[in-house]
Structure 1
Amino acid sequence: MSAKIYRPAKTAMQSGKAKTHQWILEFDQETPRRIDPIMGYTSSGDTRQQLKLFFDTQELAEAYATRNGIEYRVIAPKETVRQTVSYTDNFRFNRNQPWTH
């Protein structure tokens, strides 16, 4: 039984950072998924794939995994670098490219 511990990135649909402050412990797939020959549905007997555990800190998630004997790997979050852009920079006299229509 193995799992990954990560902090989710912000959604691309909105600019807010909701739901990005918690850490998630998510189990890896242990058995391959099967395709039902009659209906074509994809199914699996492994119910741990459906489980996500939320923690406030990375240390709490790691402590839970070690306490329950779960092998885990931590995926470090990538911090975004915010570029400050000013509207007045479009009209600077020392621009790299001239401003034209």
Structure 2
Amino acid sequence: MLARIYQPAKTAMQSGKTKAQNWVLEFEQQSPRTTDPLMGWTSGSDMLASEVRLKFDTKEAAIAYAKEHKIAHEVIDRNVAKPVIKAYSDNFSYRRRMPWTH
């Protein structure tokens, strides 16, 4: 029973980072998923992987929880993207990489 501890990425639908601040402890799939022959839905018998998702405020709290309950865990750190500083005047710069196409 291996668990992953990670910080989820920002959602593509919103510009806010509210749900991406917490750390998540999620269990790996133990048994393969099966496909329902009639409807085509996928299902699995592993309740830990499909239902249990614990959220923590800090990475240290998630690691402490995993150690306290003797859960083998793997910590995945997120790559933080550097913000690109842009200005409106960059659209009209002579050093523009791509030509202005209108």
> TM-score category by the smaller chain?
0.7 to 0.9
Q: Residue type matched to 1:86 in 2?
A: A
Residue 62 of structure 1: how far off its partner (Å): 0.4
Could you tell me how far apart the structure 1 residues matched to 2:42 and 2:101 are?
Answer: 55
Q: Hey, what does 1:21 align to over in structure 2?
A: 21
Partner SS for 2:91? helix
Residue 53 of structure 2 corresponds to residue 42 of structure 1: no
SS in 2 for 1:13: coil
Written as runs of structure 1 = structure 2, the 5 A alignment for 1:1-101 is 1-49=1-49, 50-92=51-93, 95-97=94-96
Structure 2 gaps of 5+ residues are none
Equivalent position amino acid for 1:96 in 2: R
1:7-27 alpha-carbon deviations (Å, 9 max, x no partner): 011112222112111000000
Percent identity (aligned): 49
- Largest Rg, 1 or 2: 1
Q: CA-to-partner distance for each residue in 1:37-88, whole Å, 9 max, x for gaps?
A: 4444322211001210000000000011111111111110111211111112
> Moved runs in structure 1, 4+ residues, more than 6 A?
none
Secondary structure of the 1:19 match is: helix
Partners of 2:45 and 2:19 lie apart in 1 by 29
* Number of corresponding residues: 99
State the distance in 2 between where 1:85 and 1:29 align: 43
Provide TM-score, normalisation by structure 1. Answer: 0.84
RMSD over aligned Cα atoms? 2.1
